[in-house]
Amino acid sequence: MKYVIAPSILSADFTQLGKDIKETEEGGAAYLHFDVMDGMFVPNISFGIPVMKSIRKATHQVMDAHLMVQDPIRYVKAFKEAGADLITVHLEACPDVRKTLTEIKDLGIMAGLSICPETPVEEIREYLEYVDMILIMSVHPGAGGQKFMEESLDRIRETRKMIEESGKEIDIQVDGGVKLENARKILDAGANILVAGSAVFGDNIVENTRKFVEIFRDY
Ligand code: DX5
Ligand code: ZN
């Protein structure tokens, strides 16, 4: 299984976004996590298509679009055209989950399905055949810098078990409150892609990223 750190640029310094992104790349981040918020599915508004388009020119990292957007099928094509390699939608935000995931796959990119902390894990089972990745939210979506919800560990274990039963190779991404200090227990529970915003950006981005990559050596 591959292990990946996906820095969330929500916590980057937008006055020097290009520089911050380069530093995550230098630190060994294979993915770049892009949090899109529409002010409807979540209360906040972040950034969108034009920002992704210009970042696409600045990095070779896998561009991981986390759409916290109501009825996201309306935007999947635009994000693919802007450079997304992976588009994750929320189960709670899709009037037709299967159709949305199929639409993403038909664009020739990876599809992810995310669930909020209050959604039972069991609800993802019927969609496993359409996804490359499951994103378990370990905070309520909408803002960076929140505390990791410990009950997420059981949800990760349950998801990994369900994936094993399906016989498919599906990544588990965990997003919210991920730090160097809790990374190992999240990986031990069965996750293989860690999103980290506030733990990566700030001082020493290269070093912060590198420390996550070092942890992966033990897995
Ligand atoms: C929350 C976002 C996260 C967030 C993570 O809604 O999906 O990606 O930026 O930030 P930290 O790592 O600071 O919790
Ligand atoms: Zn996210």
Percent of the chain at pLDDT > 90 equals 100
- Kindly name the residue from 132, 171, 175, 188 that is annotated as catalytic: 175
Beta strands in the chain, from DSSP E residues, in sequence order: 4-7, 31-37, 62-68, 86-90, 110-115, 133-137, 171-175, 193-196
CA separation for the pair 86, 185 (Å, rounded): 25
Tally the domains of the chain: 1
- Kindly name the residue from 35, 38, 64, 171 that is annotated as catalytic: 35
Give the range of the structural domain holding residue 208, as residue numbers without chain letter.
4-216
Return the ligand number nearest the Cα of 112.
Answer: 2
CA separation for the pair 145, 71 (Å, rounded): 26
Each residue's pLDDT tens digit, 92-102: 999 999 999 99
Indicate which atom in ligand 1 lies nearest the CA of residue 148.
14
Which has the closest alpha carbon to 193: 84, 64, 104? 64
Å from CA of 168 to ligand 2 middle? 24
Ion ligand 2: residues, Cβ under 5 Å: 35, 66, 175
Beta strands in 12-151, from DSSP E residues, in sequence order: 31-37, 62-68, 86-90, 110-115, 133-137
What is the pTM for the complete model shown? 0.98
- 59 burial (CB, 10 Å; 0-12 / 13-18 / 19+) is middle
Indicate which atom in ligand 1 lies nearest the CA of residue 11.
9
110 lines ligand 1 (CB under 6 A): no
Known binding-site residues equal 8, 33, 35, 66, 175-177, 197-198
Each residue's pLDDT tens digit, 5-61: 999 999 999 999 999 999 999 999 999 999 999 999 999 999 999 999 999 999 999
Q: At 176, which amino acid appears?
A: G
10: CATH:
3.20.20.70
66 lines ligand 1 (CB under 6 A): yes
Indicate which atom in ligand 1 lies nearest the CA of residue 177.
14
End-to-end CA distance of the chain: 9
144 lines ligand 1 (CB under 6 A): yes
Which ipTM did the prediction report? Answer: 0.98
Each residue's pLDDT tens digit, 171-200: 999 999 999 999 999 999 999 999 999 999
44 lines ligand 1 (CB under 6 A): no
33 lines ligand 1 (CB under 6 A): yes
